[in-house]
């Protein structure tokens, strides 16, 4: 990402950060459409398996917890970079990557378990809308993990200082957004089924 003008600027927000927030605003509509589709199709599947047969709340709670804690490590990574504590920054970023990967692992496990129970993309509307919604979220997490790996490697090939804060900040905003989307999915898709 780039900032071309070194001269006068009409706002004091850095371009990459502004771009990311605008992207996130747009992403709200992406996930809004997906969650909207899921809710419209909720209870309209003609054949099973149905959500109550499959969802495992303890397991999903753990993966939610993992993602929340990765968000915490992310914010700590940014904090350490601001303080120029590079080693701590690397450690925290590495932690985010690990936690993100664990979350993805849970999701792979969940998907394969559901598929084993008979819920495939082609089985019923619940399968279609559930997999596309959580799959899109999973792709977001995967992109975030790749992005953070790139940043972590960068910190080894060239000195990273608090000047690079904006690049990590943008990645962090993205990561937290993925986290809040999961907060919504956890509530609207998983928890609501059991009330």
Partner 1 sequence: MSHNNHKGGAAIYVITAVFLAILTYIEFGLIQYKWLGDGNPATILTIVALSIVKFIAVISIFMHLKDDNKTLFGFFAAGLVFAFAIFVAMSFLFTVNSTKNRIAAPTTDNLSSHESSNHNILVEEAGFRFPAGPKNQAYVIERPFESTKDYSFSLDSSNSSVSSPSNSQDSVALESFDWQELGQKTFNSCSSCHQATGTGIPGAFPPLNKNAALKYNSDREYLLKAVTFGLTGEIDVDGNSYNSAMPAWGYLSDEEIAAVLNYVLSSWDNPNTVVNFEAYSPNDVNSIRALNLSSDDTLKQRP
Partner 2 sequence: MAISSQSAKNLGSKVLIRPNSQTKGIVSWLTTVDHKRLGIMYLVASFLFLFTATIESSLIRTQLIRPNNTFLSPEIFNQMFTLHGVTMVFLAIMPMGTGFANFLVPLMIGARDLAFPRLNAFGFWIYIAGATLFYSSIFLGGAPNAGWFAYAPLTSLSANPGHGIDFYMIGLFLAGMGTLATAMNVIVTIISMRAPGMTLWRMPMFIWMVLITMFLILFAFPPFTIALVQVIMDRSFGSLFYVPEQGGMPILWQHLFWIFGHPEVYIIVLPAFGAISEVIPAFSRKPLSGYPIMVFSGMSIGFMGFAVWAHHMFTTGLGPYGEMAFAVTSFVIGVPTGAKIFNWVMTMWGGKIRLTTSMLFAIGFIVTFVMGGITGIMVAISSLDAQINSSYFLVAHFHYAMGGGALLGFMAGFYYWFPKFTGKMLSEKVGRFVFALIAVGFHTVFFPQHFLGLMGMPRRIQTYADGYGFNTLNLISTLGSYIALVGACLLAYDIIVTMRSKDRKAPNDPWDARSLEWSIPSPPPVHDFDTTPVVVGQDTFWLEKYPQFKNISKQEESEIAKLAKESDKHGIHMPGASWWPLITSVALFFGGYSIIFDNILLGIIMAGLLIFSVHAWAFEGVGGYYVTVDNDGGKK
State the nearest-atom distance from the C-beta of 98 to partner 2, in Å: 21
Three-state SS string over 69-114 comes to HHHHHHHHHHHHHHCCCHHHHHHHHHHHHHHHHHHHHHHHHHHHHH
Nearer to partner 1, 65 or 109 (CB): 65
- CA angle in degrees (0–180, nearest 5) for 125-130-133: 125
Residue 27 structure tokens? 């992403």
Return the residue of 16, 49, 68, 132 that touches partner 1, per CB under 8 A. Answer: 68
Question: If contact means CB under 5 to 8 A according to the sort of partner, which of partner 2, partner 1, none does residue 108 touch?
Answer: none
State the nearest-atom distance from the C-beta of 157 to partner 2, in Å: 9
State the nearest-atom distance from the C-beta of 151 to partner 2, in Å: 10
Residue from 178, 182, 190 nearest 42 by CA: 190
Return the residue of 6, 10, 46, 158 that touches partner 1, per CB under 8 A. Answer: 46
Applying the rule CB under 8 A, the residues between 81 and 140 that interact with partner 1 are 82, 124
């Amino acid at each position: 990402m780039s900032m071309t003008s070194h001269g006068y600027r009409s706002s004091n927000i850095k371009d990459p950060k502004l771009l990311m927030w605008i992207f996130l605003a747009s992403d709200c509509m992406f996930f809004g459409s997906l969650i909207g589709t899921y809710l419209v199709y909720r209870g309209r599947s003609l054949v099973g398996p149905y959500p109550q047969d499959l969802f495992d709340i303890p397991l999903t709670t753990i993966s939610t917890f993992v993602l929340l804690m990765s968000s915490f490590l992310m914010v700590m990574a940014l904090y350490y970079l601001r303080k120029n504590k590079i080693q701590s920054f690397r450690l925290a970023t590495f932690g985010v990557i690990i936690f993100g990967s664990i979350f993805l692992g849970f999701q792979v496990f969940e998907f394969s378990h559901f598929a084993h129970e008979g819920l495939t993309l082609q089985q019923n509307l619940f399968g279609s809308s559930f997999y596309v919604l959580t799959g899109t979220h999973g792709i977001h997490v995967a992109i975030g993990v790749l992005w953070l790996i790139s940043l972590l490697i960068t910190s080894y090939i060239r000195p990273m200082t608090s000047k690079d804060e904006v690049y990590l900040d943008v990645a962090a905003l993205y990561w937290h957004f993925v986290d809040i989307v999961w907060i919504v999915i956890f509530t609207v898709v998983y928890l609501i089924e059991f009330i």
